[in-house]
Amino acid sequence: MNFLNDLVKEKPYNLKSHVKKKYFLPNLLKLLEHHKKKSKEFKKIINHFNHKYNKNTHIKDFPYIPVRIFKKFNLKSIFDNQVHRILHSSGTTGNQVSNISLDKKNSKDQIDILTKLTSHIIGNKRLPMLVIDKPISKSSNNKYSARMAGITGFSIFGKDMTFALDEKMKINFNKFNNFLSKYKNHEMIIFGFTSIIWSNFIKELVKRKIVLNLSKSIVIHGGGWKKLININVNNKIYKKFINKHLNSKKIINYYGMIEQTGSIFFECENGFFHTSNFNDIIVRNKDLEMCKFNEKGFIQLISLIPSSYPGNSILTEDLGQIFGEDDCKCGLYGKYFKVLGRIDNAELRGCSDLY
């Protein structure tokens, strides 16, 4: 959609709610009509809501679809010959995965917006990048897993990208030490999925009693929290161990899902995730009514990015809590919130693939 070209020129967190409302819902409605015209399956779903949507529609009344519907149906708003890339979510053995079809334009939009959001954190520069994962190879059939998509997306901010783990998911100390010998006193990005950084990297450093001084590093991580919560490792403990063994002062968690790639939520210095100019969040109670601030409920994610598939408004299987809007002490505008975990008995769907 052309409006994204103008929106990407703005700073991603500088619009207050009353300004954001003027463009957000109208463009969301345009996307709704676009997907209804292009996807017969999506049109059938929306018709079941039996509601007329117009410029006076409140964001809470905008239709949403459950995230697992992408595991059941191949919803897309493009022809087969327009599919440029397919993203698929993680899943346990025997479980279906989401398949998200992108055309060239939507793929570019995702990268442009991810670049805008990440540049707010690291600036407009490329830094040496240490990836806490095994090496990935470019998919021959243009299919990307959640991990591959994440690494590929963030790789545009790195140079001399080095994978710290080998094929067995063990630390490759030759590559690791070579990287450190060149960049230990430089700014660098350390990127990976939350559970992999913990289980395959930090725990090994603890075991070997390795303590590094990477005070200029920026650690960016996301996904895989369910595995850590099950062993009583929370965000505070996670940061404590990274700080102790890497001496990294800037550790940034992000929240997002393959069904809305590019539309991620970064954690601010006060520990809250923030919406940007490109996305929004609603929390709903057990009756699916919109919660007030500070009430816990099911997370609904809304994004202006998806145009090749109808993923603009998704009810997730995550629990969350919104604390306010435009008044976080970090100074960023937008809603600020926390993710509290998965819905009980929900299908296990982490952001990091099982290997």
Is residue 354 included in any domain, yes or no? no
Of the candidates 78, 156, 83, 114, the residue with the CA atom closest to the CA atom of residue 4: 114
Copy the structure tokens of residue 226: 């369910």
Query: What count of Cα atoms within 13 Å lies in the side-chain half-sphere of residue 56?
Result: 2
- Least confident piece of the model among 54-58, 83-87, 180-184, 199-203: 54-58
Q: Model confidence over 300-332: pLDDT tens digits?
A: 999 999 999 999 999 999 999 999 999 999 999
294-307 core/surface letters (b: 16 or more CB in 10 A; e: else): eeebbbbbbbbbbb
Is residue 298 included in any domain, yes or no? yes
Is residue 352 included in any domain, yes or no? no
Give mean pLDDT, residues 211-235: 91
- 146-154 and 104-122 helices, crossing angle to 10°: 60
Is residue 28 included in any domain, yes or no? yes
Which residue blocks in the chain are alpha helix, DSSP H? Answer: 3-7, 17-38, 40-47, 69-72, 104-122, 146-154, 173-183, 194-197, 203-207, 225-229, 235-246
d(CA 13, CA 274): 8
d(CA 164, CA 162): 6
Range(s) of the domain holding residue 53: 3-342
d(CA 12, CA 113): 9
- With bands split at pLDDT 50, 70 and 90, how would you rate the model's confidence at 146? confident
Is residue 347 included in any domain, yes or no? no
Q: What is the pTM of this model?
A: 0.91
d(CA 312, CA 306): 6
Q: Model confidence over 17-76: pLDDT tens digits?
A: 999 999 999 999 999 999 999 999 999 988 887 777 777 788 898 999 999 999 988 899
Are 146 and 352 in contact, with CB atoms under 8 Å apart? yes
> Could you tell me the sign of the dihedral formed by the alpha carbons of 321, 322, 327, 333, in that order?
positive
What pLDDT shows up at residue 353?
A: 41
Q: With a cut of 50, say whether residue 347 has pLDDT above it.
A: no
d(CA 160, CA 152): 14
CATH classification of the domain holding 160: 3.40.50.12780
What pLDDT shows up at residue 8?
A: 86
Is residue 353 included in any domain, yes or no? no
Is residue 191 included in any domain, yes or no? yes
Is residue 36 included in any domain, yes or no? yes
d(CA 38, CA 318): 29
Neighbours of 215 (CB within 10 A): 14
156 compared with 138, residue with greater pLDDT: 156
Beta-strand relationship, 265-266 and 250-255: antiparallel
DSSP label at residue 249: S
What domain count does the chain have? 1
Q: How far is CA 236 from CA 13, 97, 252, 260, 330, in A?
A: 25, 31, 12, 27, 18
